[in-house]
Chains A and B, each alone.
Chain A
């Protein structure tokens, strides 16, 4: 953790982390509730400090394809958007996954469907963890629940993206993006030189030199057997990620009778609900998946064996709850509490649900 302490909005912390981590390029299109990311970058002028490119694209479609071009050259590139913009990006995301290109896509979710609302939501869970675009691919999805995590997850995401040559989604929402908290800022990293990129990422298209064959970045293969082999290779990589990159947090789970499973803003609100419940003598704990994909299956299953009930709290009609049900023991009841359309649940509502559905019955 860095030494410099600042009071920042989640979106600003994310943008500052991008500069500090030595990113090469940001390409984005404005959409509430994350426009501060590009605004912050434009004000900070990282192109003067580190040489980082910041470009306002003509659409999310263009932005995601700019990421493809930059990532194909081994550059650290990213974008940020919100739900309607994410929908537009999923064709490009499928191409990025197919061509195995590293990048970060931050999604500050808002309520949907359609234009929906600018208020926070968590209804893009299916879209980013189950698909969104076409084809058999997976995205690494990390869900920050604090401004500090908005900062810290940039470095982690770039590392994962390059380690596995895969897009990483930072799945957040307007509440985390807009709220202000203390955040520790790290040192400024130096951007990689072209020589360093060549060395680290020999696949990058930086110009064909006599010492190697030409590099090709493509997701196309018209030979079905060869293309199936490519798919098998991708699936192996996803298995590897599932094995190595599960992240979650447990709060007061050791003695808990009931656990709330929630991520992002819902997890923050659930903490307050947990405190209220414990004051009432109800032993509530929180299981917070940090990597939504890979989903922390094993840890949840083990925990589900010990508790009397599980409540999924999401700002959606119930999306993550499907994974929770799939990975909990059948004997433990799993309930869902969701608010939609940009409504944020209150801690008291959550406590009421726990009392009425589990404690009283």
Chain B
């Protein structure tokens, strides 16, 4: 018996090397295995937890694969109509300026149907944080073309590849909002490697910290994979993302302290 390790021994605080934040519920994630959404959720909740903001936080879930974000994030949340999360967040932050407010949105939600709400919330310099998960596709509805779908990229509604002459060009929403005076911190991150996750978490922390100072919109894009929509294995999708998405959507800060740090 003496060399059998029992649960209580493993759970000793000194043995714990990683613990799920209490701000993630125990509900089983609805995301496909390998999808970046779950990691993005976790680091956002870790930041809220580490900053002790749970009791002050109100989050907005979008329409998209992360529509059920409120099942996984253990904070007060509202579920918005497709694309309208920034409108909800605007009102909440205006009515309750000392709360921490974030919207969590996909690229179809934020850059297609919700373009107006996104641009105007940014332009008014609303003091909330946008987490924008860009996977270049409509994941939830089965892999249709998104405004962010790369040129030549196949989707169920661009089965021969996106032809920008007839289907429009992929939209760099993050570069677009960085040019608006209302945005204060705009960055593009990813969550495909441990190093990227650490960086992305730092960026989210910075955004939430800046939100406390009420300096304007803080906007964090997370370029992510949609292995199901892209019809690849998780490993291949991450490789494809690095080779194809990152050259068009380069990672790094775009605007810091209200100033562009990159040519857009």
A residues bordering B, Cβ < 8 Å? 24-25, 27, 53, 55, 57-59, 61-63, 65-70, 72-73, 75, 77, 91-92, 95, 99, 194, 205-210, 214-220
Instruction: Mark interface residues in B112-126 (1 if CB within 8 Å of A CB, else 0).
Output: 000011001000000
Which of B54, B56, B77 has its CB near the most chain A CB atoms (within 10 A)? Answer: B77
Q: How far is the CA of A21 from the CA of B61 in the complex (A)?
A: 31
The 4 closest A-B pairs by CB, nearest first: A69-B88, A65-B87, A218-B79, A66-B91
Return chain A residues, CB-CB under 8 Å to B56: 207
Specify the chain B residue showing the minimal Cβ separation from A204. Answer: B76
**Residues of B bordering A, CB below 8 Å:** 54-58, 60-61, 67-68, 70, 74-81, 84, 87-92, 94-96, 99, 116-117, 120
Not counting A58-B120, A205-B78, a sample of 10 additional A-B residue pairs whose C-beta atoms are within 8 angstroms of each other reads: A58-B116, A62-B117, A65-B80, A68-B80, A69-B87, A73-B96, A208-B54, A208-B57, A216-B79, A217-B78
List 27 interface pairs A-B (beta carbons < 8 Å), by A numbering.
A24-B95, A25-B94, A53-B91, A55-B94, A57-B87, A58-B116, A61-B117, A62-B87, A65-B84, A65-B87, A65-B88, A65-B117, A67-B91, A68-B87, A68-B91, A69-B89, A69-B92, A75-B95, A205-B76, A205-B92, A206-B96, A206-B99, A207-B99, A208-B54, A208-B57, A220-B68, A220-B79
Which residue of chain A has its CB nearest to the CB of B92? A69
Say whether A58 contacts B79, CB under 8 Å.
no
Q: Which residues of B contact A216 (CB under 8 A)?
A: 70, 76-79
| CB pair A53 B55 closer than 8 Å | no
Q: B71's closest neighbor in chain A, by CB?
A: A216
Q: Shortest distance in angstroms between A137's beta carbon and chain B's nearest beta carbon? A: 14
Q: Do A218 and B76 touch across chains, with their CB atoms under 8 A apart?
A: no
Say which residue of A91, A210, A218 sits within 8 Å of B78 (CB atoms).
Answer: A218
The chain B residue with its CB closest to the CB of A222 is B68
Residues of A within 8 A of B116 (CB): 58-59, 61-62
Q: Which residues of B have CB within 8 Å of A73?
A: 58, 92, 95-96
Contacts of B60 in A (CB 8 A): 69
Q: Please give the distance in Å from A26's CB to the nearest CB on chain B.
A: 10
Q: Which of A24, A61, A63, A207 contacts B54 (CB 8 A)?
A: A207
The CA of A218 and the CA of B63, in the complex, are separated in Å by: 11
In the bound assembly, the distance between CA atoms of A59 and B92 in angstroms comes to 17
Cα A215 to Cα B92 in complex, Å, equals 15
Is the beta-carbon distance between B58 and A77 smaller than 8 angstroms? Answer: no
Contact B90 A66 (CB under 8 A): yes
Cβ-closest chain A residue relative to B103: A69
Nearest residue in B to A215 (C-beta to C-beta)?
Answer: B76
In the docked arrangement, what's the CA distance between A59 and B6, Å? 60
Residues of B within 8 A of A210 (CB): 55
In the complex, A66→B99 CA distance in Å?
16
Option from A58, A70, A215, A217 in Cβ contact (under 8 Å) with B91? A70
Query: Please, which residue of chain A has its CB at the minimum distance from the CB of B116?
Result: A58
Are A217 and B79 in contact, CB atoms less than 8 angstroms apart? yes
The answer to whether B117 touches A68, judged by C-beta atoms less than 8 angstroms apart, is: no
Within 8 Å CB of A220, what residues of B?
67-68, 79
- The complex places the Cα of A194 from the Cα of B76 at a distance, in Å, of 15
Asked whether, in the complex, the Cβ of A209 is within 8 Å of the Cβ of B55, the reply is yes
Q: Which of B55, B70, B84, B99 contacts A218, CB < 8 Å?
A: B70
B87 touches A206 (CB 8 A): no
What residues of chain B lie closer than 8 Å to A53, measured between beta carbons?
Answer: 91, 94-95
CA distance A25 to B76 in the complex (A): 21
Please judge, given known A-B contacts A58-B116, A58-B120, whether A208 and B91 are in contact too, CB under 8 Å.
Answer: no
In whole angstroms, how far apart are the Cα atoms of A73 and B57 in the complex? 12
State A209–B260 Cα separation when bound (angstroms). 38
Chain B's closest residue to A51 (CB) is B95
Contact of A92 with B91 in the complex, beta carbons under 8 Å: no
Q: How far is the CB of A265 from chain B (nearest CB, A)?
A: 32
Given A58-B120, A66-B91, are A72 and B78 also a contact pair (CB < 8 Å)? yes
Q: Determine the chain B residues whose CB is within 8 A of the CB of A69 once the complex forms.
A: 60, 78, 80, 87-92
Residues of B within 8 A of A57 (CB): 87, 120
Complex contact A208–B78 (CB within 8 A): no
Chain A nearest CB from B111 CB (Å) reads 16
A62–B76 Cα distance when bound, in Å, is 22
Q: Which residues of A contact B90 (CB under 8 A)?
A: 55, 62, 66, 69
Known: A72-B88, A92-B84. A207 touches B76 (CB 8 A): yes
A69 CA to B60 CA in the complex, in Å?
9
* Cα distance A210–B84 in the bound complex, in angstroms: 29
| Chain A residues whose C-beta falls within 8 Å of the C-beta of B61 in the assembled complex | 218
